[in-house]
Amino acid sequence: MTQGRASGKVILFGEHAVVYGRPAIAVPVTDVQATARVEAAAPGSGILIHAPDIGQTIDVATAPADEPLSFTVRRTLARLGRAWQDLDLSLTLVSSIPVASGLGSGAAVATAIVRALTAHLGCPLDKKEVSSIVYETEKIFHGTPSGIDNTVIAFEQPVYFVKGRLIEPFAVRRPFWIAIADTGLPSLTRESVADVRAAWQRDRQAYEAIFDRVGAVADAARAAIEEGRIAALGALMAENQRLLRRLDVSLPELERLIEAAQRAGAQGAKLSGGGRGGNMIALIEPQQADAVRAALQAAGAKRVIVTEVGK
């Protein structure tokens, strides 16, 4: 048996504007992970994907071309020059990453598949190649993905990302803590990205100005993280959230959690990811973790993850 793992991720700054060429910052969330296990199967059985978390078994031979898990298997094997028809494998997927919540569940599962398959066949790929394969799967999930999920998850470190440019991993001078709270509502990234695109097409000048400001916030946040000025991140989160409201991707459920975190002492808070559900994040001190967690749960959070960035 061969295993491949991948962590979740969270976007700190820059969501939605990143699709339009502005920078975004994302970091791995190692507290939640996807795991893929590959084993040899009986001759003639082909490749079966077992996903007990969602109660599915998928036969690669009969799955639709746009089924994400089988697509990832086929794409990976094609990259290795192997025909999926010639292989008999059992692939089992388990994940602790909440689905449709902005934590990169789809990209993490795809990354785990690529890592497990390539290791099992003795042909591991470098991080850039893994990211490239997973990006193709992301197109199925999200339509026009930014590329940030596959990048940060495949490279396993904080990244400054601008679409179409070289990836820029960067150092966290002083570790900091964030709380990630799940609204319990699915974040349908494909739909929110499409809605923002439609609004942009109606009024490009106004939306380009918003995207410019989101990009400037992300640049300021990177400088603060690299210089260890963690206190500056709180105000930048508030500004980013104000701009995301103007893009109409927040919801009352997200706003309720943001307000609860701030009342409990968080230095800043914002939604993370596609919005319209999913997660919000809050900048906290480690000694505030219990109080912030309790406040978020009281405000309706279905799950709260507290993680250290740059540890």
CB atoms within 10 A of CB 1: 10
Q: 36-68: string of b/e by CB count within 10 Å (b at 16+)?
A: bbbeeeeeeebbbbebeeeeeebebeebeeebb
Quick: pLDDT tens for 117-142.
999 999 999 999 999 999 999 999 87
The pLDDT assigned to 288 comes to 96
Taking only the tens place, the pLDDT of each residue in 190-203 is: 899 999 999 999 99
Note whether 97 and 103 are within 8 A (CB): yes
Query: What is the Cα–Cα distance from 49 to 63, expressed in whole angstroms?
Result: 10
Are residues 155 and 126 in contact, defined by beta-carbon separation less than 8 angstroms? no
Q: Which CATH number fits domain 2-168: 2.102.10.10, 2.40.30.170, 3.90.550.10, 3.30.230.10?
A: 3.30.230.10
pLDDT for the residue 127: 94
- What does pLDDT average to over the chain? 95
∠209-215-22 over CA atoms, to 5°? 90
Q: What residues are labeled active site?
A: 149
> Residue 51: beta bridge partners?
56
> In this structure, what DSSP letter does residue 46 have?
-
**Helix orientation angle between 204-227 and 232-246, rounded to the nearest 10 degrees:** 160
The helix (H) or strand (E) run that includes residue 121 is none
The token pair at 56 is: 């599915």
As a whole number, mean pLDDT of residues 301-305 equals 96
Q: Residue 303 — very low, low, confident or very high, per pLDDT cuts 50/70/90?
A: very high
Number of H helices, E strands in the chain: 9, 11
Give the pLDDT confidence score for residue 121 in this predicted structure.
97
pLDDT above 90 (res 45): yes
With vertex at residue 78, the alpha carbon angle to CA 75 and CA 79, rounded to the nearest 5 degrees, is 90
Residue range 55-105, pLDDT digits in tens: 999 999 999 999 999 999 999 999 999 999 999 999 999 999 988 777 889
Does 172-309 match 2-168 at the fold level? no
3-class DSSP state of 205? helix
Mean pLDDT in residue range 298-309: 96
pLDDT band at 166 (very low <50, low <70, confident <90, very high): confident
> What is the percent of the chain with per-residue pLDDT over 90, rounded to a whole number?
86
Confidence label for 157 from pLDDT (cuts 50, 70 and 90): confident
The predicted pLDDT at position 102 comes to 78
Say what percent of the chain tops pLDDT 70. 100
Q: Helical H runs in 68-147?
A: 68-80, 105-120, 127-142
Domain ranges of the chain: 2-168, 172-309
**For position 99, what pLDDT does the model report?**
81
Q: Which CATH class is domain 172-309?
A: alpha beta
How confident is the model at residue 135, as a pLDDT? 95
Please state the separation of Cα 141 from the chain's center in Å.
12
Residue 7, beta-bridge partner list: 33
Going from the C-alpha of 261 to that of each of 195, 207, 225, the distances in angstroms are 28, 29, 21
pLDDT band at 146 (very low <50, low <70, confident <90, very high): confident
Tokens of 82: 């192997």
Chain segment 194-233, per-residue pLDDT in tens = 999 999 999 999 999 999 999 999 999 999 999 999 999 9
pTM for this structure? 0.84
The pLDDT assigned to 136 comes to 96
